[in-house]
Each structure stands twice: as structure tokens, then as C-alpha cells.
Chain A
Amino acid sequence: MRIGYYPGCSLEGSSKEYSDSLLAVAEKCGITLEEIKGWSCCGASAAHNLNHDLAIALPARTLALAENQQFAEILVPCAACYSRLATSKYEVTNNDTTRKRMESFLDLKFKGDVQILSVIEFLQKYIYPVADKYIVNKLNQKTACYYGCLLARPKEISTLEHTENPMEMEDVMAKAGATPIDWAFKTECCGAGLSVSRTDIVAKLSGKIIEDAADRGADSIVVACPMCHMNLDMRRPEIKKQLKKDINIPVLFITQALGLSMGISADKLGLNKHYVPTDKVTSCIVKKEA
């Protein structure tokens, strides 16, 4: 089956390593992802903050393109893009007036029958069943799985089983030979789109997340959203100032962690692109026992 790929803007820029590691893992497992031709930005928080129509129309354009290119499924790894695309699909398919209005803005017909996969669903559906064949290493560390907001909520969109205490990422990390920890901040907000305009708030919210993971002995934090990654990794100097302590837990994309367990090189997975050094992660890894 052809799977369409919507990288989104962050994965072409500041979170390129998320895309690189995802494609590397997919390639390893023999799965081809085909980029949707002509895709555009989902509008992110900016559009839904300022203009509801724009917030529905921008993702709908990409969905209509995916339909026209005959994709039955598309993978949207960025949690924020996923949320916007899924919300747009939800509104357009549940409301005829909205659909007609969007079609008039876009000059495109829209059925809304493309299945949108989050990175978690993609891993569950395509990687998880074959992973054992490719996993050669044991990550051998305590990991805090961080979902953030947009994979877990709202319930109309999320496919996770539990809103407050989802376990899907833990399943993947356990397969990769890590020990997922029980912690309190897995679905708390990192401060998201306020990263630039209110960095102080991001330092506060992300600081609580980092501190709880550290207090519970995590060696690493695993995420599935470029915005979360940026706030927890790149904003670490501001977080350290806020917490008044030096916490150096590295933050990995779930695809990087999985890639390491499959023996893909740290360079290929883009671990060198992070701000908080990742040696702590790589030094724990051992060969998987046969």
C-alpha cells in the first residue's frame, strides 16, 4: 500500500533529524514513504489562534491533494500538524456547510476519506509487527515517554487509549529494550507555540517536565513532536535558569531511539543536531542477546 508522507515545515527545518530518523527506520523495515506533492503548511497554532476558516482551510488543502494523488493513508509525524490535519478532516467530514465553504476557498473537491496516521499509529501498524526482526540493540536505560498535548487530546482526534495515562510510546520503547518509567508529566503541556513570544512561560512549564523526569531517575526523555523537542532541548539554558539547577537529560525523538535499537548510526539519526548532548543515551546501549 502507498503511504503518503507529510513532513510539515519543522521537519524540513529545525527538526530535520525527526524526519531523517523516521525515514531511516522506515527504510530499515522496508517501508516506503512517498511525499505528498505540493503540500503546504498546516497553519499551526497561528492560524487557529487568529482565524478559524484559515485553520481548517490550510490543512484541508493538503488533504485534498493527498486524495487527488490517490493516497489511502498519510503519515503526519509532527504532533501539531497531525492535530491540525485531523481537526480539519473532522470538521469537514462532520459538517456539510464547512465542507462546501472550504471547497469554495480552495477550488478543490474534498471527500475526507484519507486516513491520517500519527507517528504512534504508524509505528504500531507498520513497524511494531516487524520490529523484532530488525532490533539488534538494547537501549538499556530508563526512559520517560513524553506525549505532550496534541497526541493525547482532544478525544475526537486522539487515537490513544487513555487521555491522561497513555502507554503506546512505552510499548514501543520497551520493545527497543528501554525501561519506561512511571511519571507525572507525560501529557502536561511544554508551552508549545509560546516558545518565542513568551520564553519565560515555556521555561516554567518545560522545567517542570524535565525536573519530574530527573527526580524519577530517567536517563532520557523520548518525544514525538518537534515543538516539544525544541522546548525541552533547545530551551534547556532557560530551563536551567528557571530551575536553578543543571539537569542534562537528553531528549530524543521516538524514531531516533528506535533507530538506535535497530543499529542505525547516531549520525544518520541526527543525534548530533541536539543541544543537550546525547552521549548518555548512546553509552547505555548494549547488544541484544540472541
Chain B
Amino acid sequence: MHETTHQNHANTLKLQVEKSTGINVSHCYQCGKCTAGCPLNEEMDIMPNQILRMLQLELPGYEDKILSSLSIWLCLACDTCYSRCPQEVKLSQIMDFLRQESLRQNKVNPQAKDILKFHQAFLQSVKQNGKLHEVGLTIDYKLKTLNLMQDVFLAPSMFAKGKLSIFPHKVQNVKEIAKIFKKISDSTKV
């Protein structure tokens, strides 16, 4: 019965979302426009409007489902949902929070591992150089995911077209960037 009982304590996922983003989740009245317009709805395991409904219900079982869903990692933050929402619920910002929380609680959907590794490799490159080094990112991502052969045929043509440089363009005071990363209490695990 516990699963179907509303949580009494004050720290439900809904309240955490609201505290962190300033968005009132209860404003959603389930018109479904977000899901209808979402370019990724076909790929998602829980529809965007369902995520909002599940947050509203504040059931503990739902919180786990949301945080371990693939949907939150597929969201591209294109903001189509937000631009069409009659209640102006900024779902992309809620998704940002949910991903961060999913990572913090170690609940990342196994199918989203490559997406996460890409983001982590990206930030690693920025932390090291202050700018993204595309070659470094690609190598790091391949090693992290073991997708070693992916896009392997693109590299020679990209070099030939002058689209890639072997060495990173570094920011002058690159230590400053690492300091910012360090200062921010991060759950990014980069």
C-alpha cells in the first residue's frame, strides 16, 4: 500500500523541482501539447506530460521511474513544449534538474549511458582546455564507450577539409577554468 500512498514528508521530487527551478508543477493541467509537439516522443519511455503528472502525484514509486527514465536524457531542450504550453511550464528546465538528480542518485537509465558519457567527455575537454577540443572529445568518448569504430571514416575527410585540429586551442588562463569547475559543487563526475 505504501506505493499508492502520498508521501507525507516535505521533500518529494515535486517539491525539489519547484524549489530548484521556481516552476510550479501544479500549473500543468495535462492538455498534452508538450507530448504532441515533442520531436522525440517516439523514442521516449515516459511521455513529457506523463512526467509532469507523475511529479504532481508525489508517489515514491513514480519518482524512481522518472529518475531512471530514458526520456529525461533524450530531451534536447528544444523548448517546443514550453513555447506551446498554455500554462508556461518550462519543461526543459525541469528536465535539466531531473537529469542532474538522476545522476546524483545514480539512477541513470542504462540506455542513456552513451549520452551521459558524451556530455562528460565534452565537459572534460572544456575543463582541460577552456574550449572544446573536438579531436580530444572524440577520442575520450570512444574510449569511454568503446564505440571505437564509430564515425572512423569521417576523421580523414574532416582533417582534409581543415575542420579538425590535432592540438587543442587553449584558453590563456586555462587554470581559471579548472578552478571554476572545482569551485562548483558538482555532481557531474567529470
B173 within 8 A of A: yes
Asked if B76 and A9 sit within 8 Å, CB to CB, the answer is no
Main secondary structure of the interface of B (DSSP, over half): helix
Q: A13 contacts which chain B residues (CB < 8 A)? A: 132-134, 163-165
A49 within 8 A of B: yes
Q: A10 contacts which chain B residues (CB < 8 A)? A: 132
Asked if B80 and A149 sit within 8 Å, CB to CB, the answer is yes
A50-B99, A154-B90, A192-B78 known; A12 vs B169 contact (CB < 8 Å): yes
Q: B120 contacts which chain A residues (CB < 8 A)? A: 46, 50
How far in angstroms is the closest Cβ of chain A from B168? 10
A105 within 8 A of B: yes
Asked if B169 and A53 sit within 8 Å, CB to CB, the answer is no
B39 within 8 A of A: yes
Q: B165 contacts which chain A residues (CB < 8 A)? A: 13
Chain A, residue nearest B82 (CB): A154
In-complex Cβ contact of B122 among A46, A52, A57, A199 (8 A)? A46
- The CB with the most chain A CB atoms within 10 A, among B20, B99, B103, B132, is that of B132
> In the docked arrangement, what's the CA distance between A192 and B80, Å?
14
Q: A273 contacts which chain B residues (CB < 8 A)? A: 161-163
B18 within 8 A of A: no
A72 within 8 A of B: no
Interface residues on A, range: 35 or more
A106 within 8 A of B: yes
Count of B residues near A, CB < 8 Å?
A: 62
Asked if A201 and B40 sit within 8 Å, CB to CB, the answer is yes
Q: A196 contacts which chain B residues (CB < 8 A)? A: 118, 138, 141, 150-151
> In the docked arrangement, what's the CA distance between A10 and B134, Å?
8
How far in angstroms is the closest Cβ of chain B from A153? 4
Asked if B76 and A193 sit within 8 Å, CB to CB, the answer is yes
Asked if B172 and A53 sit within 8 Å, CB to CB, the answer is no
In-complex Cβ contact of A9 among B116, B132, B172, B181 (8 A)? B132
A43 within 8 A of B: yes
A54 within 8 A of B: yes
Asked if A14 and B134 sit within 8 Å, CB to CB, the answer is yes
Q: Which of B1-56 contact A (CB under 8 A)?
A: 20, 39-40, 43
How far in angstroms is the closest Cβ of chain B from A274? 8
> In the docked arrangement, what's the CA distance between A220 and B139, Å?
33
A41-B130, A51-B187, A58-B180 known; A153 vs B161 contact (CB < 8 Å): no
B131 within 8 A of A: yes
A49-B119, A154-B83 known; A54 vs B96 contact (CB < 8 Å): no
A13-B134, A40-B177, A154-B83 known; A50 vs B123 contact (CB < 8 Å): yes
> In the docked arrangement, what's the CA distance between A2 and B132, Å?
27
Q: A53 contacts which chain B residues (CB < 8 A)? A: 184-186
Asked if B39 and A16 sit within 8 Å, CB to CB, the answer is no
Q: Which of B140-190 contact A (CB under 8 A)?
A: 141, 150-151, 154, 157-158, 161-165, 169, 171-173, 176-177, 180-181, 183-188, 190
The 30 listed contacts between A and B (C-beta, < 8 Å) are A13-B132, A14-B163, A14-B164, A16-B162, A43-B126, A45-B119, A45-B122, A46-B118, A50-B186, A51-B123, A52-B20, A52-B100, A57-B184, A58-B180, A61-B177, A105-B183, A105-B184, A106-B180, A149-B76, A149-B77, A149-B79, A149-B80, A187-B80, A189-B76, A189-B78, A194-B74, A196-B138, A197-B117, A197-B118, A201-B43
A residues within 8 Å of B by Cβ? 9-10, 12-16, 37-41, 43-55, 57-58, 61, 104-106, 149, 152-155, 163-164, 187-189, 191-194, 196-199, 201, 205, 234, 272-273, 275
Nearest first, the 6 closest Cβ-Cβ pairs linking A and B are A46-B122, A9-B132, A153-B79, A149-B78, A189-B78, A197-B118
B residues within 8 Å of A by Cβ? 20, 39-40, 43, 73-74, 76-80, 82-83, 90, 92, 96-97, 99-100, 103, 114-120, 122-123, 126, 130-134, 138, 141, 150-151, 154, 157-158, 161-165, 169, 171-173, 176-177, 180-181, 183-188, 190
